[in-house]
Structure 1
Amino acid sequence: MLGKIELIRLLKWLGFYVALAIGLGIIILQAVTIYPDNANFINNAYLHLTGFDDTGVGTNLYYLVLPIMSGLAASSVYSEDLHGNLLKFILRRVNFKQYIRKTLGTGFIVGGIVGALPLLLEGGYFFTKYSTAKLPTSPDLILIDRDGWGYHWFMSSPMSYWLFSILITFAFSGLFSMIGIVSSFYVKKKTVEMAVPFIFTMMTFFVANFSGWDPISIPYILPPAFSNYYKNGQYYLLFWFVVGMLAVFVAAYHKELQDELD
């Protein structure tokens, strides 16, 4: 019951709609900035999509801003409950462990929706306007690197590859929201938790740039096209998701013990 209430509350949250507006704005920016030949002369939907056509501004920007969108959508739920004195009323009905787990679960779902929904809406528009057929094997139309993990998949079944890329975005966007939520357990200043997912991804970005180890950067490997520029890009995606989930689990478990000890 608590999970359902929390989910409905987050879906009515102003931050959720602000995050969606940011995502949709970037999608529109992608559509108006892609290379004109792609937009006007080639009848294929995948040559428009964010994350696939890197001639548009949106492909890089969307995945760079994704942690901010996730942070806005759900990261402040615990902080709002705590500072708004709602938490003590909730804990009359459920124990603290149940509250944390339900909050993280609903945060993951809402964060995932914020990341995936704009991309789904974009696909829904372009798939009705342009062809969804497989791209010809032309040197001028290679969206996925030939040596990448998704090349053969994309060339044989682009729609299923696109759907899988949406699933990856959903998973990471949900993870970013949970990272923000668990950070709010320990950050005393309100609203700072919304910036934590972005700070985390930027740390991986700067480490990659200073070390020359590009695939360690989350913003580099999240876009479906760019993740294939790096050898074994799929394993880097899996690595960061597992590391992020473990960090969330440890932080949440430690907070549960703190509550029991207090």
Structure 2
Amino acid sequence: MSNDVRASELQTYLDRLLAVGEFKDYGPNGLQVEGTAVVRRLASAVTASRAAIDAAVEAGADALIVHHGLFWRGQDGRLTGWLAERVRRLMAHGIHLFAYHLPLDAHAEFGNNAQLGLRLGWRADARFGEQDLGFIGDAGAIGDAAAVARHVAQALGREPLLLPGDGRAVRRVAWCSGGAQGYFEAAIAAGADLFLTGEVSEPQAHLARETGVAFLACGHHATERYGAPALAAHVAERFGLEHRFIDIDNPA
């Protein structure tokens, strides 16, 4: 038997827990679409895609917590096409949409980077990069970059793209989930022997060759599958709600 919680109470708790006011972000964090007054069932997903929304409807969810919401800086503000269809589905079924982007990446316990580190057996002892989003710590006795890549593939269920650097033993590993390839130089400056993120762009291949620091691109979705369900599970336990994680596969 689940409890009834007002959506405004959930919003206040989530906003404070994730310290949303401390971040400069690419879109609004918090409640993005308002649904019915009370929440009994929570769903979580990485992205507020139509497939995730439809699965939340099927699960009878009153609220959906995601990392990637619907509204972004520089976006055309008109509700047309695919965006209108997603909003229409949420509103037709009275589902609240809560989206937390950079605050969810950064959170020390429920964030994407903290949860990714748990699955890889890495514990951060420092932060780096813009807004301290990057995590860095000791790699343990894994070996060189190729050994780390095998370890990551087993943990995440996906083969990463490896830029091996100079083949050094990996003692310090840095990571930042999603599209954080631009943090590579900051990771190098922070003393990393290997940097892990979701995506890779053309410049990182040259930097890996020239600096000797290895680079692992493991998939945007694959590195950000863990924050939203961890956060939602915590909220569900605190408020006595039901929770279901909706994992919509994404090769990107």
Quickly name the TM-score band, shorter chain normalised: under 0.3
Per chain length, whose mean CA-contact separation is higher, i.e. which structure has more relative contact order (CA < 8 Å, sep 6+)? 1
Q: TM-score by structure 1 length?
A: 0.26
Q: TM-score by structure 2 length?
A: 0.27
Name the structure with the higher helix share.
Answer: 1
